[in-house]
Amino acid sequence: MHLENEPIISLRNISVSFDGETVLKNFNLDLKNGEFVTLLGPSGCGKTTTLRIIGGFVKPDTGDVFFNGRKINSLPPYRREVNTIFQKYALFPHLNVYDNVAFGMRVHGKSEKQIRAKVGEMLNMVNLNGFEHRNVNLLSGGQQQRVAIARALANEPKVLLLDEPLGALDLKLRKDMQAELKKIQKQTGITFLFVTHDQEEALSMSDEVVVMDKGAIQQIGTPLDIYNEPKNAFVADFIGESNILDGVMREDYLVEFSGRPFRCVDKGFRPDEPVDVVIRPEDIDIVSPDGEHLTGTVQTVNFKGVFYEIIADVQGFKWMIQTTDCRQPGAEIGLSIRPDEIHIMHKSEYSGMFGDYTTFSDEMDEDIRTQPESEEEG
Partner 1 sequence: MKMKSAAFPYLVWMAVFIIVPTMLVVIFAFTGRDGSFTLRNLESVGQYSNVFLRSIWLGAVATAVCLAAGYPLAYFIAQAGGRRRNVLIMLVMLPMWMNFLLRTYAWMTLLEDSGLINRALTFLGLPTLHMINTQGAVVLGMVYNYIPYMILPLYSVLTKIDKSVVEAAQDLGADSRKVFLRITLPMSMPGIISGVTMVFVPAVSTFIISRMLGGGSNLLIGDLIDMQFLGSAYNPNLGSAISLVLMILILICMGIMNQFDKNGATEGGIMV
Residue 86 beta carbon to partner 1: minimum distance, rounded to whole angstroms: 5
**Closest distance of CB 296 from partner 1, Å:** 51
Q: What is the DSSP string of 104-145?
A: HHHHTT--HHHHHHHHHHHHHHTT-TT-TT-BGGGS-HHHHH
| Residue 107, phi then psi, degrees to nearest 5 | -70, -20
Q: Which residues of 17-35 are buried (b: 16+ CB within 10 A; e: fewer)?
A: eeeeeebbbebebebebbb
As measured in angstroms, the least distance from the Cβ of 57 to partner 1 is: 6
Least distance from C-beta 177 to partner 1, angstroms?
19
By beta-carbon proximity to partner 1, the closer residue of 163 and 213 is 163
- Indicate the residue among 146 and 280 with the shorter CB distance to partner 1: 146
Bridge partner residues of 68 (DSSP):
none
Measured distance CA(290)–CA(295) in Å, rounded: 8
Q: Look at strands 159-163 and 191-196 and give their pairing.
A: parallel
Per DSSP, 98 falls in state: H
Dihedral over alpha carbons 371, 373, 374, 378 (to 10 degrees) = 160
Query: Minimum distance between the CB of residue 2 and partner 1, rounded to whole angstroms?
Result: 20
Question: Minimum Å distance from CB 101 to partner 1?
Answer: 10
Cα angle for residues 124, 200, 323 (degrees, 5° grid) = 135
Nearer to partner 1, 18 or 57 (CB): 57
Q: How many CB atoms lie within 10 A of CB 174?
A: 18
Beta carbon nearer to partner 1, 20 or 93: 93
| Residue number, 87 or 258, with CB nearest to partner 1 | 87
* Vertex 214: Cα angle to 43 and 227 (nearest 5): 80
Residue-by-residue DSSP string for 232-286: SHHHHHHSS--EEEEEEEEETTEEEETTEEEE-S---PPTTEEEEEEE-GGGEEE
102 vs 310, which CB is nearer to partner 1?
A: 102
Distance separating alpha carbons of residues 92 and 245, to the nearest angstrom: 52
Give the Cβ contact number of residue 260 at 10 Å: 11
For partner 1, the closer CB: 94 or 304: 94
Nearer to partner 1, 82 or 209 (CB): 82
**Residue 124 vs 135, nearer CB to partner 1:** 135
Q: CB of residue 123 vs partner 1: minimum separation in angstroms?
A: 16
Shortest distance, position 155 Cβ to partner 1, whole Å? 6
8-state DSSP, 300 = E
- For the chain, the residue count is 378
Between CA 95 and CA 110 the distance in angstroms is 18
- Nearest approach in angstroms of CB 132 to partner 1 is 16
List of residues contacting partner 1 (CB under 8 A): 55-57, 76-79, 82-84, 86-88, 90-94, 103-104, 106-108, 135, 151-152, 155
